[in-house]
Structure 1
Amino acid sequence: MSGGLGPLPWGYVRRFGRVVFRQQQWKSTVSTHPKMPPCDFVPEKYKSYPYERIQKIREQNISPSLRMYYKKPLLLHQGHMQWLFDYEGRRYLDLFAGIVTVSVGHCHPKVTVATQKQLARLWHTTNIYMHPSIHEYAEKLASLFPDPLKVIYLTNSGSEANDLAMFMARLHTHNFDIISFRGSYHGGSPYTLGLTSIGPYKHGVANGFGCSTGVNGAVQYPRSFLKEAYQLVQERGGVCISDEVQTGFGRTGSHFWGFQTHDVVPDIVTLAKGIGNGFPMAAVVTTKEIANSLAQNLHFNTFGGSPLACVVGAAVLDAIEEDGLQKNSRDVGTYMLLELAKLRDKFEIVGDVRGKGLMIGVEMVTDKHSRHPLPAEEINQIWEDCKDMGVLLGRGGLYNQTFRIKPPMCITKKDVDFAVEVFHTALQRHMERAAK
């Protein structure tokens, strides 16, 4: 057997693509709980509704389509950088960053102070007037893009940004068809759902076009693939849209934008999530020529580019630069990939460890030979074990078989050591259960 669990003195047999142990039970080396790195932040005491009342309100007054993680959903109370605290004061290492949204850290002090100052000055005025924040931020954001990507339209969410990008592309080219990747997710609006082919997001309502990579578990493109694909599209009069909602703002480590890794310049770029560190804002960045196509008629956004949003966005850019978070994503992300790769070599059910920077996928399989997805109930138990030991992971993939690791970019190597030890412990516990 290549990779896998290594030599086992008590022997094993393979049955139905699974590893089954015999002669002797799996010998546990599992510690009760790996020790968390220290954190000097003390959360406030929780003073809101009891857990049971929160749960009842959720059942009665919150849309059932908004599903929650874990058998007993977490009731979170406060956050500090890479840490989250629940209503009972338990601390969790957040390796999913509010679905890849908290870029510089929960309640980052620099972003918090900038937001508080602007809250006392001016929350909102629409773009029928000028205010300094949007102009200062637009100039700062545009400086991070290569020519000719210098025109910015600010919106409220990634779905809205991708909607607008598709609309711009169609106005500019007078073509309708759009190609996207299998396993992609580009938003939850009716327009963007046409780009998505992940079953749980489909509602049986026609929404046109598309075959529909971040949600598929940090799958990287083959070398030169994207460059050749761009060339084929642009030669035929099409435009190329790069969805940087998850890959942008230095998360991949080597570059500030994911498309730069592939030596291409898209025609339109969409941004969200990490752009505001959790504040609801997003953007479309494009060329003057394409932007002018939208200017043929009025297109207006009430809240996009508000004074508050622009101050938050500028503070996030400052924090990324001043805290060295792109470099941290590269250094800590590479370290984490190498540490997780050791678990891939040790455990037969870890089929793949992949990614770049702090955008990592760990694919779970029944065995490395068949590469069938590990059954949901087994993945769920590993996932629950990690949570119980203080580590929060995301899930993705066509069969929900891939753990998504995309933490705030302020995470440290000590945090990684803790997270990998927790994951290792959860995998060992799984093997113990499988051996019984």
Structure 2
Amino acid sequence: MNQAQLPPAMDIDWSTDGIVARRERYYAASQRKFVPFKDPLIIKRGRGQYVWDENDNKYIDLLGMNLCISVGHAHPEVVRAATAQVAELTHCTTMFYHPVPAHYAEELAATMPKGHEWVVHFTNSGAEAIDLALLMARAHTGNIDMLALRSSYHGATFGAQALTGIAGFRHNVPQLGGVTFVAEPNQYRGIYGEGVEPYLAEIKRAIDYSTSGRLAGMIIEPVQGYGGIVPMPKGYIKGAAEKVRAAGGLLIIDEVQSGVARTGDAFWSFESHDVVPDIVVVAKGVGNGIPLGAVIAKRDVAESMADKFLFHTYGANPVACAAGRAVLKVIREEKLQENARKVGGALKARLTELKDRFELVGDVRGEGLMLAIELVKDRQTKEPAPDEALAVFEATRRNGLVASRSGPYRNVIRMCPPLCLSMSDVDDVMDRFVRSFEAV
């Protein structure tokens, strides 16, 4: 091909109108839907815990691009690892062998509880991994029935949305069968109030009256993400595991949002609950923005699928796995788990001060750098305040914050920033929240 035959350069139109128009014209409706702000927020570049829009306005990224950015935007160690692998070999299907994914699988397995043999199946996303975990549990146990929490979110694929309890994520089509939902032990607005035992009792009732009596498993987020940052109280996951295993089922832990050192006290948030899962689903932050997910399972559970073919074309991609290895290295060397604990604790303490200033604030909760503010019309009745939450949320954007709204009532402002958020950012974040609440 001579110079005259070369295709035109791949120019990028960074004009606001051009970006919006192309998205509206060429994105399918299903991909245009998930937009948080009234006016589009266009992200051009990022560094650490900060991002800049197309007009060079700077924001503190309190969302980590939906928790995908764990160690910081454009972290040089992750960039270096991925770039080096791209230059050598961009993809190697699992039909053939490559050392990088195998090393990464070994390193992921090493983060799991000792005394068990763990194996890894790589996927491209968390939703794919949830589908696989569901299939694996049913294949291993020979049972069909699954339990999930009512305000859970596990993904939007056909299998994952069947396990998701929030109506906004469930399409109006026949859902995958065999899933029973039980009340989540929300210590702020749960139907049984505070405590654990009433919620565990409901698990037993669900097994007795809404299933065959034999379970494939139960899936739990240790800290619910889209459900509104709802941490599971101590004793609940362990008690649930006992009841589920007594019915022949497995404990599946969804760490897609709460894992990878985010909660501060542990690398995987289930470690704080004195329980060892049978299957763990990970994604988002493990790749620091590069598509990467995995199912980590006890070997005997995973071996149940040994006689059947299951293939993810880009699963175990060496570039993604090289990035994943770099993420583990950075978290360890930069002590980001400890940073999440300290900075998250300081930020939560400051955010709690909002309750003294604004009657709209009903609850401030979370663990590490996985935090939320729930807005209510009345603190006594806890009536959700979705309209007010939207107004505050829009104001945060004007004040240079990128957060999200979540929860079944869309009245929760969710914060899950990169783990490199610093102590020097805490006062700045607080000031911007105060200005945002004052504007409503």
TM-score scaled by length of structure 2:
0.85
Q: Aligned pairs, how many? A: 384
Q: Cα distance 1:47–1:190, how it changes in 2: closer, same or farther (>3 A)?
A: closer
Look up the SS of the partner of 2:377 in the other structure.
coil
Partner of 1:63: 28
Q: Distance in 2 between matches of 1:311 and 1:210?
A: 38
The question of 1:104 aligning with 2:65 is answered: no
Q: Distance in 1 between matches of 2:180 and 2:373?
A: 27
- Rg larger in 1 or in 2? 1
Report the structure, 1 or 2, having the larger strand content: 2
- Mapped contact 2:49–2:418 kept (Cα < 8 A): yes
- Mapped contact 1:149–1:267 kept (Cα < 8 A): no
> Which residue, out of 187, 197, 205, partners 2:173?
205
Map residues 233-382 of structure 1 onto 2, 5 A cutoff: 233-376=244-387, 378-382=388-392
Partner of 1:193: 161
> Which residue, out of 52, 56, 61, partners 1:94?
61
Partner of 2:129: 161
Q: Distance in 2 between matches of 1:203 and 1:65?
A: 11
| Runs of 5+ unmatched residues, structure 1 | 1-45, 431-436
Partner of 1:35: none
How far the C-alpha of 1:236 sits from its partner, in A, is: 1.7
% identity of equivalent residues: 40
Partner of 2:150: 182
1:272-322 deviation line (CA, Å, top 9, x unaligned): 000100100100001111111111222222210011111011001001111
Amino acid at match of 2:249: G
- Mapped contact 2:36–2:404 kept (Cα < 8 A): no
How far the C-alpha of 1:64 sits from its partner, in A, is: 2.1
Q: Distance in 1 between matches of 2:51 and 2:180?
A: 37
How far the C-alpha of 1:223 sits from its partner, in A, is: 2.3
Q: Distance in 2 between matches of 1:57 and 1:144?
A: 43
Q: Distance in 2 between matches of 1:217 and 1:115?
A: 33
> Which residue, out of 409, 417, 426, partners 1:399?
409
Amino acid at match of 2:358: F
- Mapped contact 2:13–2:19 kept (Cα < 8 A): no
Partner of 2:84: 117
Higher relative contact order (CA 8 A, sep 6+): 1
- Mapped contact 2:36–2:405 kept (Cα < 8 A): no
Q: Distance in 2 between matches of 1:47 and 1:307?
A: 28
Partner of 2:425: 415
The question of 1:383 aligning with 2:405 is answered: no
The question of 1:83 aligning with 2:93 is answered: no
- Mapped contact 1:148–1:286 kept (Cα < 8 A): no
Partner of 1:11: none
How far the C-alpha of 1:129 sits from its partner, in A, is: 1.6
Amino acid at match of 1:57: R
How far the C-alpha of 1:367 sits from its partner, in A, is: 2.0
Look up the SS of the partner of 1:167 in the other structure.
helix
